[in-house]
Amino acid sequence: MPTTTFAGFGRALALPLIMSLALAGCGTQEAEQVGQAETAMTDEPGVDGGAVTAGEARSEAAALAERIASGDLEQGELSVALEDLDRLVNDNPVDFPEDMRPSLTEDIQSARMAMESEDSEALQEAAASIQATLSGSDAATTAS
């Protein structure tokens, strides 16, 4: 009757365990980029869900729109920027009055669709429209 040593049994279990741990430690580059993008984007006021002061949301939205328009963002960063911009617009009705919010929401949705279809020209157009809407609101505010 053959006897199985405990050491042999341990080696048989150790190999699958080691391989599963090694594979679990391997993350995709995209997941890593999204994590870095989220970390970078949450350094700004308001994008982490915290409160922003009056006027701060609009300036933050303008900065996000500029980053989107730059064309320098990776897919993950772009997705986070659009989500943050959408959250700023929806969570700050004082900074984004009812007369401009529908336009911004529509442009953000257009930018998302352009991003998903990888249409950089449409993305640039949506970002430019967001910037124009925000610039127009700044001009109207300073004229008052």
Dump pLDDT digits (tens) for 12-56: 555 555 555 555 555 555 555 545 545 444 444 444 445 556 578
Q: What is the pLDDT of residues 91-136, one digit of tens each?
A: 998 889 888 999 999 999 999 999 999 999 999 999 999 999 998 8
Q: How many residues does the chain have?
A: 144
- Contact yes or no for 111/130 (Cβ under 8 A): yes
Instruction: Give percent above pLDDT 70 in the chain.
Output: 57
Q: What are the start-end ranges of the H helices in the chain?
A: 6-25, 29-41, 56-70, 75-91, 101-116, 120-143
A 10 A CB-CB count for 34 gives 17
Tokens encoding 82: 């659009």
Of 96, 91, 13, 4, residue with least CA distance to 48: 91
- Between CA 101 and CA 118 the distance in angstroms is 25
Return the axis-axis angle of helices 56-70 and 75-91, rounded to nearest 10°.
160
Is 0.85 topped by the overall pTM?
no
Of 104, 113, 109, 106, residue with least CA distance to 133: 104
Where do the structural domains in the chain lie, given as residue ranges? 56-142
